[in-house]
Amino acid sequence: MSLIAVSRFSLFLLLMGYLAGCSGAKDTTRSHTLLSDGWKFSRSTDDTASATNFDDSGWEKVSIPHDWAITGPFDKEWDRQVVAIEQNNEKIPTEKTGRTGALPHIGTGWYRKTFTLPDFKPGKQALLVFDGAMSQPVVYLNGKQVGQWAYGYAYFYIDISKDLLPNQTNTLAVKLTNLPFSSRWYPGAGLYRKVSLIVKNPENFEQWGTFITTPKIDANSATVNIKAKTAGQNLTMSTRIEDANGTTVATFQNEQTAKDTFEQNLTVKAPHLWSPETPYLYTAVTELYANGTLKDVQSIKFGIRSVEYSAAKGFVLNGKATKFKGVCLHHDLGPLGAAINKSALRRQLTILKDLGCNAIRSSHNMPSIEQLELADEMGFLFLAESFDEWGKPKVENGYNLFFEQYAEKDVANLVRATRNHPSIVMWSAGNEVPDQYGAEGLVRAKFLQDVFHREDPTRPVTVGMDQVKQTMESGFGALLDIPGLNYRTHLYEDAHKAFPQGFILGSETASTISSRGVYKFPVEPAKDKNYPDHQCSSYDLESCVWSNLPEDDFILQDDKPWVIGEFVWTGFDYLGEPWPYDEHWPSRSSYFGISDLAGLPKDRYYLYRSRWNTQDETLHMLPHWNWEGREGQTTPVFVYTNYDSAELFVNGKSMGIQQKTKDKTPQHRYRLMWMDVKYEPGTVKVVAFDKDGKPVAQKEMKTAGKPHRIVLDPDVKTLKADGQDLSFVTVSVVDKNGIPCPTATNQMHFKVSGQGTYKAACNGDATSLEVFHLPTMKLFSGKLVVLVQSTQAAGDITLEVSADGLQTGSVGLKSVKP
């Protein structure tokens, strides 16, 4: 088609779209309705009554996303089990508690909502879309079962076109069932991710049927390839690409060349490339016409970037060799449970950005759309994982029950729903699956990898492997696009020689354990160390029987060019898996996090930051300096810093200069350690030196007196008045001189007034049985975090925090219309 013809055709399409819009734009394109408010919830067990005839007048009113179990109470009976955990090399079954968070997620729950759809008319298509439902959802519309699924982390949709009542009240009901022994961590419960309703013309873009790639990129231009599956005949597709400012930078129109499929190639001049440093996003607006009438429109954000993996360079992004400085994340959001909240996710990623983290592995589950949107926007590489089990079980009622029937559908939906996110640079087909053993496992690994390749030929596939010797011998590791090793640092060299890919990914590393602000003596490396208070030492020298300290991975990352990066277990503490205290009660959340369950950085945060954040200064001392009763006793001082040397002073007396060195232990290469310091109250100061030996930075900490005043520090002061936005307010106490009190455990009380509500609190203590949603909690190691949520009205918000004998703290926030 000539340029003149294309121009005339474009004008024709614009005119026809305008005329169609004049006759009623709502009838010509799709509507997308979030089903978030107006739900009712019950733990009813009467299936028939709940689906059809019922009295829900006494049901709880909730909004979606919702996690029915997060309000507790904590009780070890919820998930008490006698089991030997094979992944932890256990041989003898023992009683385990807190493994899935000690919260009441097990059982059946019902959700119901009534709605009308004025836009829906017979002949249109209506899709009910679930981003995730925990778990085994059975969906009813007007008393009729219209669909079901199994996997609680899976995206799925149901065509309800034939069952929807036009211009009448419809009743949607969803039954969810969480079986006991179905997870190795806290899975949450309920409609914990978005539910939406899409109404389209019969001529439309297929759900998740559009795939955008950027196959050719150079400094002057980039080719954007768009493949779109459609429904209807005699169709034409028009596309415009907009830059981040909304300016059109490329256009294309063409008619259908194959049944149900369009393909277009557009050229973007002088492209801005997406990367963690410059997360630039374009938008593709695609319009579908039938005989000149606009029928459907979709808007998809994407990034222009190239990804490749090679033995010579490892992982290469936009032509530049890049190492993954990544963390693994479970899906729960601490005191919010599994219920997705975008502002909570944004806070997590903001903390990780300051850490210098550039990558995330969704472990061991499919990520939320919100998490991927933020990764695109804020600049994080993403390893999107699918399963923790295949056909062989880790837990009795895990995914092994559904693998044969659902695995292909679950992978296909994962890829189709998320493949346009530029942040995703790799897929994971599984984590530490017992199927690593035997020929059947090889068949399953190839099957899953082939499904990923079929749905997305542009990205490679990995599996997190813990049985490394077995996978070297069987061919399992050689089969994968990317061999991912979970721990087993002592086998990296052997694996590199055995696997043909030429590189190794640390798909899960460290599992170092610590409790924020807790320090144990003597200071020495330890495996699976238990203490009477059920805490772990924040000297960062304790790990699990299967795992290691951070430096073991640092050395591999720094010295072996064929190690392409790591994903640390974990970025944040999470509910469940309270190792090494899963045989001790109370303990109901993990100790693995670089930050605690409240999102407060542990000391280890600064160890990683000193390596990963190359833009900002890191100078951090530990432990705190409040040790009444330890006067004269050895109390080592560690400094985590991006400088190579520093001098320590205690009350003005030099403790000497320490220099990072490769000649001693791995810890001496990355930490500055004064092992013989004797405790005396007062002031500890560290002075850091540059490479020329000149003082360039200093920091000090002082012994605090008695707690005197409460201090509040919000992460944001302005909220969106949408009923969902959150401010995370860190609460701490200081003495009369303003010195922080790191050992304070005062009971705090919270009051929110104005256009906001109290949502939850968390202190990061894995042993605490205080529920998150009540407006009171004890400080742990001198701190906790209060979550204040906006209402749907604009105005001022005030949080007051009080405690017996302390000066009350208060902070003002503001809620504004989006």
Provide the mean pLDDT of the chain. Answer: 94
- The CATH homologous superfamily of the domain defined by 709-816: Immunoglobulins (2.60.40.10)
pLDDT at 18 over 50: no
Q: What is the mean pLDDT of residues 355-366?
A: 97
Q: What is the mean pLDDT of residues 315-321?
A: 98
DSSP state letters, 203-258: SEEEEEEEEEEEEEE-SSEEEEEEEEEEESSSEEEEEEEE-TTS-EEEEEEEE--B
R_g of the chain computed on alpha carbons:
28
User: At a CB cut-off of 8 Å and minimum separation 6, what does 138 contact?
Assistant: 145, 147, 148, 174, 175
Amino acid 83: pLDDT:
83
Could you report the per-residue pLDDT of 556-607, keeping only the tens digit for each? 999 999 999 999 999 999 999 999 999 999 999 999 999 999 999 999 999 9
Sign of torsion over alpha carbons 123, 126, 127, 133: negative
Sign of torsion over alpha carbons 400, 403, 405, 406: positive
Q: What is the mean pLDDT of residues 770-779?
A: 98
Structure tokens at 702: 């002082």
Amino acid 600: pLDDT:
98
Kindly indicate the confidence band of residue 16, based on its pLDDT and cuts at 50, 70 and 90.
Answer: very low
Q: What are the C-alpha distances in Å from 28 to residues 19, 177, 649, 802? A: 11, 39, 74, 56
Could you report the per-residue pLDDT of 450-467, keeping only the tens digit for each? 999 999 999 999 999 999
Structure tokens at 368: 């939320």
pLDDT at 1 over 70: no
- Please tell me the distance from the alpha carbon of residue 520 to that of residue 242, in angstroms, as a whole number: 56
Q: What are the C-alpha distances in Å from 429 to residues 414, 415, 451? A: 11, 11, 10
Could you report the per-residue pLDDT of 406-435, keeping only the tens digit for each? 999 999 999 999 999 999 999 999 999 999
Q: What are the C-alpha distances in Å from 387 to residues 462, 677, 750? A: 12, 48, 40
Q: Give the active site residues.
A: 432, 508
Could you report the per-residue pLDDT of 777-809, keeping only the tens digit for each? 999 999 999 999 999 999 999 999 999 999 999
At residue 746's C-alpha, the angle toward residues 742 and 750, to 5°, is 115
User: Any bridge partners for residue 250, and if so which?
Assistant: 241
The upper half-sphere exposure of residue 110, i.e. CA atoms within 13 Å in the direction of its Cβ, equals 22
User: At a CB cut-off of 8 Å and minimum separation 6, what does 129 contact?
Assistant: 155, 156, 157, 194, 195, 196, 197, 198, 207
Residue ranges per domain, the chain?
35-200, 203-302, 307-511+546-574, 709-816
Amino acid 46: pLDDT:
56
User: In CATH terms, are 35-200 and 307-511+546-574 the same topology?
Assistant: no
- Please tell me the distance from the alpha carbon of residue 468 to that of residue 491, in angstroms, as a whole number: 7
Could you report the per-residue pLDDT of 498-527, keeping only the tens digit for each? 999 999 999 999 999 999 999 999 999 999
- The CATH homologous superfamily of the domain defined by 35-200: Galactose-binding domain-like (2.60.120.260)
Amino acid 49: pLDDT:
55
Of the candidates 635, 626, 649, 636, the residue with the CA atom closest to the CA atom of residue 698: 649
Q: What is the mean pLDDT of residues 648-672?
A: 97
Amino acid 581: pLDDT:
97
Kindly indicate the confidence band of residue 745, based on its pLDDT and cuts at 50, 70 and 90.
Answer: very high
pLDDT at 81 over 90: no
CATH class, range 307-511+546-574: alpha beta
- Please tell me the distance from the alpha carbon of residue 482 to that of residue 463, in angstroms, as a whole number: 8
Of the candidates 715, 713, 800, the residue with the CA atom closest to the CA atom of residue 756: 800
Q: What is the mean pLDDT of residues 538-542?
A: 98
Query: H-helix or E-strand containing 647?
Result: strand 645-650
- Maximum alpha-carbon separation in the chain: 89
Amino acid 685: pLDDT:
98
Kindly indicate the confidence band of residue 15, based on its pLDDT and cuts at 50, 70 and 90.
Answer: very low
What is the C-alpha end-to-end distance of the chain, expressed in Å?
45
Q: pTM value?
A: 0.95
Q: Which option is the CATH number for 203-302: 2.60.40.10, 3.30.420.40, 3.20.20.140, 3.40.50.10490?
A: 2.60.40.10
Sign of torsion over alpha carbons 664, 667, 672, 675: negative
User: At a CB cut-off of 8 Å and minimum separation 6, what does 364 contact?
Assistant: 385, 387, 388, 430, 431, 464
